Amino acid sequence: MNKLKIVFAGTPQFAESYLSALINSKHEIACVFTQPSKRSGRGLKFNHSPVRNIAKLNGIEIRQPEEITIKETDALSEINPDILVVVAYGLILPKEFIAVPKHGSINIHPSLLPRWRGAAPIQRAIEYGDQLSGISIMKMTDELDKGDIIYQEPVAIEENDSSITLHNKFISIGIDSLLLTLDAIMENNYMLHPQDNNLATYAKKIKKSEAKINWENSAKNIHKKIMAFNSWPIAETNLAGERIRIHDSEYRELEVNGIPGTIKSTKDKYIEVFTKNGLLIIKKLQRDNSKIISSESFINSFDFKGKKFE
């Protein structure tokens, strides 16, 4: 066997990058499963997933079920793939479905499992101050992210990594990891490593309500939230009754702290704000219905006198 007949299941841009790499590889993409297109915008036009768009561009069969039923399991059986590759699909896959392919089903997950199982592993790793994450490729089971590990590749989380920058790291490293794993599967040259459930943590789905900044927290924790929630839902605060969304920041420890939310300085291009412990340094922000701007541009257009963040 010199190539695999693959069915791919995924939805967002993260998954599209993996699908594009597979399309350009030696393997055959027989079919793509992706979430249903939804109407949005003024004209209620269909908003298609990035995975659907790239599959259509390459003439690949597309299936967009609302849920995976016996009908979809039968359809997969008719395709008779060697393997199912799943990347951020977003639908529950029953055990009957994932058992169809000759070599089973594998899932690419952006964390070092068993840490951060679940929906938001990239954001939670940054938010909780992890210094190391990685790509895990596992054999799928019908339990969420609990399958045996085939391959893992660590990825360092830098001090000022955002969800966007870490997302991009996972794409470049993950694609290479996936192609290596597929070669190992073709050659039957791999081992399965069970996860230690005692070490598991769960990365719950991000809620928009979490975006509100609490200035009673430490500068470090607020900074981590800002970086974790960039690009969604974007950390936000209020300044003189106006919502301000913060896109980029740094922080600094202080020996003496001021009143949380009080602006220490607007010099040197950045807005410096006291927190419960330390100083948050705002670098990029956004007013309502406006574009993202530098702190320097905001400083030049706003009167800070007598105002604080709340």
242-265: per-residue pLDDT in tens? Answer: 999 999 999 999 988 999 999 999
Task: Order across the sheet with 5-10: list the strands.
Answer: 61-63, 28-33, 5-10, 83-87, 105-109, 132-139, 149-156
The ranges of the chain annotated as CATH 3.10.25.10 are 208-299
- 42 has a pLDDT exceeding 70: no
Q: How many CB atoms lie within 10 A of CB 166?
A: 23
Domain 5-203 in this protein, CATH class? alpha beta
| pLDDT number for residue 8 | 98
Q: What is the identity of the amino acid at 277?
A: N
Q: Where does 190-260 have alpha helices with state H?
A: 219-228
Q: What is the pLDDT of residues 148-194, one digit of tens each?
A: 999 999 999 999 999 999 999 999 999 999 999 999 999 999 999 99
Report the Cα 109 to chain-centroid distance in Å: 10
The ranges of the chain annotated as CATH 3.40.50.170 are 5-203
Cα 83 to Cα 108, 109, 156, 189, distances in angstroms: 13, 17, 30, 16
Phi-psi region of 3 (alpha: psi -120 to 50; beta: other; left: phi over 0): beta
Q: What is the identity of the amino acid at 261?
A: G
| pLDDT number for residue 254 | 93
Q: What is the identity of the amino acid at 230?
A: N
Q: What is the pLDDT of residues 260-301, one digit of tens each?
A: 999 999 988 999 999 999 999 999 999 999 999 999 999 998
Q: What is the pLDDT of residues 72-113, one digit of tens each?
A: 999 999 999 999 999 999 999 999 999 999 999 999 999 999
| pLDDT number for residue 41 | 65
Helix axes 13-23, 50-57, angle to 10 degrees: 20
Q: What is the pLDDT of residues 103-118, one digit of tens each?
A: 999 999 999 999 999 9
Helix axes 13-23, 163-186, angle to 10 degrees: 40
Query: Quick one: 208-299 is in which CATH superfamily?
Result: Formyl transferase, C-terminal domain (3.10.25.10)
| pLDDT number for residue 172 | 92
